[in-house]
Amino acid sequence: FYVSCERIFNPKIRNKPVVVLSNNDGCVISRSNEAKAIGIKMGYPAFKYSQMFNRHKVNVFSTNFALYGDLSDRVMSVLSQSVSHIEIYSIDEAFMDYTGFNDPLKNSLEIRRKIYKWIGIPISIGIAKTKTLAKVANLIAKKKTASGVFYLNCPYEIQSQLKKISISNLWGIGNRYTEKLIKHGIITAHDLISQS
């Protein structure tokens, strides 16, 4: 999200490796897909990447929380106008209540189009019956669709997708818990739900 905010005001850095650093430029706290692709990790000290930044011509920014907060407020405002209830989860994430919507997929595509046109921020939307499944759907929307929207509602499709999702990518499962689960042979999200 922070990278997307920086790109609004600097279109030349689109499709190029970009990172945003924490206060005092200590650690990497936001990365573009291009930065991820060259191996830049989240949370790592920036000084350890100085050679990589130079070699790959990475665009490096200090945080601008006032800017990010303002753009977040604008995005959340559009979301709030689009549904009856939203729960803001973080600066770049919210859960929307689609109860009563006949075509949530169409609505999501329209919201995504509106936010990009009015604010310039690309978003992804995952639709499902629970928050955890919505997070899975959002992961798919972000990484595997051209539209940026994915509706996870068919029971067969849910099972199929959960078999592809690593336990480490499941919402609420931290690194330590992931290690414990893997030791017990639980590798995917489907493995976990099969335990109940």
Tell me what percent of the chain is helix, strand and coil, each rounded to the nearest 5: 55, 15, 30
More confident residue, 122 or 173: 122
The rounded distance, in Å, linking the Cα atoms of 45 and 5 is 22
pLDDT at 92 over 70: yes
Phi-psi region of 121 (alpha: psi -120 to 50; beta: other; left: phi over 0): beta
Q: Determine phi and psi for 104, rounding to 5 degrees.
A: -65, -30
- The Cα–Cα gap between 28 and 95 comes to 26
What confidence score (pLDDT) does residue 196 get? 62
For the residues 70-82, what does the mean pLDDT come to? Answer: 96
pLDDT digits (tens, 9 = 90+) for 152-195: 999 899 989 988 988 888 888 888 888 888 998 889 888 888 88
Give the residue-averaged pLDDT of 26-54.
95
Q: Which of 1-15, 82-96, 170-184 has the lowest mean pLDDT?
A: 170-184
Q: Using CB atoms within 10 Å of the CB of residue 109, give its burial: 0 to 12 exposed, 13 to 18 middle, 19+ buried.
A: middle
Predicted pLDDT at 172: 82
Tell me the average pLDDT of the chain.
Answer: 93
Q: What value does the mean pLDDT take over residues 79-102? A: 94
C-alpha atoms less than 13 angstroms from C-alpha of 55 in its C-beta half-sphere? 9
